[in-house]
Structure 1
Amino acid sequence: MKIEDLLFNISNLNLIELAKLVSEIEKKFNLNKTINNDTLEKKFFNVYLKNVGDKKISIIKIIKEITNLSLKESKDLVEKKDSLIKKNITKKECEDISLKISNLGGLVEIK
């Protein structure tokens, strides 16, 4: 049987028959359809500054500390809308940054 014929026959199955076929193929070829949540969980994140709040100078100082940028670069980053603070960092680092900035009235977004 050619692949085209096989696909044609599969396309003529109803939904119940198709589900049974998939199940039988999984059994026959020992395929595990369950996916471990660890493989789906994102490992690295980016942190964006969404809102500075009232304590802009304090936020600039924290950004300078977090990013190791110069004072001017930190100020420019704070004044730019939705600026990337740090990229490809762990969830723990994101939470630490978020806590520092939110304690000063700022708002971050973790993606």
Structure 2
Amino acid sequence: MSIYGSLWQMRRYGQGETTDIRDFPIEDNNEYYECNLAKKYYTQAYKNAKTAKFKALCLSMMARCEANKLAHKYPDDYNKPKKNYETFLWNKNRYYKDLELNYEYDYDRLAFGCNAFEDYFKARR
């Protein structure tokens, strides 16, 4: 769980749109913003996957975690108006590159949406 899940409800109550708590002194701040543990588990699932579709799903989830980490690690680069979001991700996020190179057919479905996740998850066996 992270900023992208429901962890803030347990640890960061009172978080509002006007409050920037990026540097709030809580011991799990990096995990909260960077999804490191989630990426670790998706990596383990990828290594043990039995089908190509499930491997592609795991790789896309690792890419999403890495995108969150990069947005937290490089907030100034990420938010510059001249920087394109996709270009930023492509240049720094090796998981999206791997997904596009190794799972070309699945890339668009997994990198730019989440409607196909259930089908890919069901293909895990």
Please say whether Structure 1 and Structure 2 have the same fold, judged by a TM-score greater than 0.5. no
Higher strand share: 1
Higher helix share: 2
Larger Cα Rg: Structure 1 or Structure 2? Answer: 1
* TM-score normalised to structure 1 length: 0.24
Where relative contact order (Cα < 8 A, 6+ residues apart) is larger, the structure is 1
* TM-score normalised to structure 2 length: 0.22
